[in-house]
Amino acid sequence: MGTHRENADAQAAGAAAGAVREPDWERVRGDFPVLHRLVRGRPLVYFDNAATTQKPAIVIRTECEYYGTCTANVHRAIHFMAEEATRRYEAVRAAAARFVDAPGAASTVVTRGTTEAINLVARGWAIPRLKPGDRILVTGMEHHSNLVPWQMAARATGAELRSIPVDDAGELDLRRLPELLGNRTRLLALTHVSNVLGTVNPVRQLADAAHAAGAAVLVDAAQSVAHMPVSMAALGADFLAFSGHKMCGPTGVGFLCARPERLEEMEPVFGGGEMIARVEETESTWAEIPHRFEAGTPNIAGVIGMGAAFEVFSELGMDAVQRRDAMLTRVALEQLAAVPGLRIVGAAPDRIGVVAFALEDAHPHDVAQLLDRDGIAIRAGHMCAQPLLRRFGHAALNRASLAFYNRPEEFDVLAESLVRARRALAGGRE
């Protein structure tokens, strides 16, 4: 019997003894319609949660309800439905700020996702204020979304872009941090959790060092928000970006939470309706923050649906989600480590359930394709982190990433399928 079952049993026993009240995870899982479907005649095993998560019925229903009950534009009209839509939309902004312990709704910008949030800061904050010789510091484990916008900002301003290296275990190598920060770093932009290695970075320690060196701090929380409690205050972030679709919400919804003074320093990036105070023939003045960063009609239905996703997580409790994640991660690592010829990339002790691996003598795309035949969804490719993969000597990898609704038994299915895939790809017989 695998120790992951013992872990699960121990957790259940702890819950029964009243030590911790765990959610009924099978019931929770039951609320996700997609998880009931068959894929290629097999029960779906969904391990591509770092790319996007599945949606519970309440999120789907809430999004549809907006269209069925109160379709109206927000902020624009004085009529019953517009007021209702605006009230519901603004309530989600407030929920987002509460969810990540941000300074408040008034400094929380609704975006299409993490990518747009980071680009807003690059264009609206960094480009107008950086000078040649200033420095932007990132890490060697950034998703392209938290790297390319800084490359663009550096190119536009003459600032230099530097990167904190990653060690063999997949953790940040902080030995040269003081030198890398120097005295010209204006911004440290780093991911809370790596979307490839699952490493949880010591953000607070880095933020304190950055602030002491006079730099602002942007945290990419895309991969952390669905796995652990996230507090912008505790992390010491000036900006924090995340996406709704990675935490059971709709696609096309994300948030940029900021310290109000940072948002006041930022220039609008998109011009148009809703972001202005007064428009003359040749010039305009801006609306208050955060509205000055939200030109045009937003994804109203998606934002309202996102409100239901925040409620789901709040009801589960992020501590319970984190415990579930830790248990499932242990199972994932155990089961994958037992597959012959499989090498896990990254060995950080502080990690979440995102596991990158390489199967000996097999191309990651072939592996993913064979697993797909068994109804198992994993990722293959560079995972939008090409510099990081190169650091580990790979052009592509496989990645299994979990969510709280995964079952420990699904890792047995994954491991068995990987063993078969390896045999098949090595030319053996299945």
Q: Which residues are catalytic?
A: 384
Span near ligand PMP by CB under 6 A; candidates 79-87, 93-101, 215-223, 360-368: 215-223
* Rounded least distance, CB 115 to ligand PMP, Å: 3
From residue 350, how far is each of 169, 202, 223, 326, 330 by CA, in Å?
11, 9, 14, 10, 12
With CB under 6 A as the contact rule, the residue among 53, 145, 157, 199 that binds ligand PMP is 145
Footprint of ligand PMP on 352-371 (CB under 6 A)? none
Using the CB atoms, write b or e for 281-300: b if 16+ within 10 Å: eeeeeebebbbbbbbeebbb
Question: Could you say whether residue 220 binds ligand PMP (CB under 6 A)?
Answer: yes
Whose Cβ is closer to ligand PMP: residue 384's or residue 413's? 384
Question: Could you say whether residue 227 binds ligand PMP (CB under 6 A)?
Answer: no
Footprint of ligand PMP on 255-294 (CB under 6 A)? none
With CB under 6 A as the contact rule, the residue among 108, 115, 335, 398 that binds ligand PMP is 115
With CB under 6 A as the contact rule, the residue among 195, 329, 335, 401 that binds ligand PMP is 195
* Rounded least distance, CB 62 to ligand PMP, Å: 20
Contacts of 147 (CB under 8 A, 6+ apart): 138, 387
What tokens appear for 66 in the block?
A: 């907006």
Contact call for residues 343 and 13 (beta carbons, < 8 A): no
* Rounded least distance, CB 419 to ligand PMP, Å: 28
* Rounded least distance, CB 79 to ligand PMP, Å: 33
253: Cα separation from own chain's centroid: 12
Whose Cβ is closer to ligand PMP: residue 252's or residue 408's? 252
Question: Could you say whether residue 54 binds ligand PMP (CB under 6 A)?
Answer: no
144: Cα separation from own chain's centroid: 13
Footprint of ligand PMP on 237-256 (CB under 6 A)? 243
Whose Cβ is closer to ligand PMP: residue 70's or residue 207's? 207
Nearest to 210, CA basis, from 171, 169, 172:
172
Question: Could you say whether residue 401 binds ligand PMP (CB under 6 A)?
Answer: no
Span near ligand PMP by CB under 6 A; candidates 123-131, 139-147, 162-170, 262-270: 139-147
Question: Could you say whether residue 146 binds ligand PMP (CB under 6 A)?
Answer: yes
With CB under 6 A as the contact rule, the residue among 95, 130, 210, 222 that binds ligand PMP is 222
Contacts of 55 (CB under 8 A, 6+ apart): 32, 34, 248, 249, 250, 309
| Helix, coil or strand: residue 109 | strand
Question: Could you say whether residue 139 binds ligand PMP (CB under 6 A)?
Answer: no
Whose Cβ is closer to ligand PMP: residue 70's or residue 247's? 247
Whose Cβ is closer to ligand PMP: residue 62's or residue 119's? 119
Question: Could you say whether residue 149 binds ligand PMP (CB under 6 A)?
Answer: no
DSSP string, 210-266: HHHTT-EEEEE-TTTTTTS---HHHHT-SEEEEESGGGTS-TT-EEEEE-HHHHHHP
Nearest to 394, CA basis, from 381, 407, 379:
381
Contact call for residues 194 and 346 (beta carbons, < 8 A): yes
**CA 395, CA 310: separation in Å to the nearest integer?**
36
From residue 256, how far is each of 73, 218, 253, 355 by CA, in Å?
22, 10, 11, 27
**CA 289, CA 62: separation in Å to the nearest integer?**
27
Q: Enumerate the β-bridge partners of residue 356.
A: 345, 399
Whose Cβ is closer to ligand PMP: residue 200's or residue 263's? 200
* Rounded least distance, CB 403 to ligand PMP, Å: 14
Span near ligand PMP by CB under 6 A; candidates 68-76, 109-117, 171-179, 283-291: 109-117
Helix (H) or strand (E) holding 169: none
With CB under 6 A as the contact rule, the residue among 108, 114, 119, 157 that binds ligand PMP is 114
**CA 123, CA 274: separation in Å to the nearest integer?**
19
Question: Could you say whether residue 113 binds ligand PMP (CB under 6 A)?
Answer: yes
Question: Could you say whether residue 399 binds ligand PMP (CB under 6 A)?
Answer: no
Q: Which residues bind ligand PMP (CB under 6 A)?
A: 50, 113-115, 143, 145-146, 191, 195, 220, 222-223, 243, 384
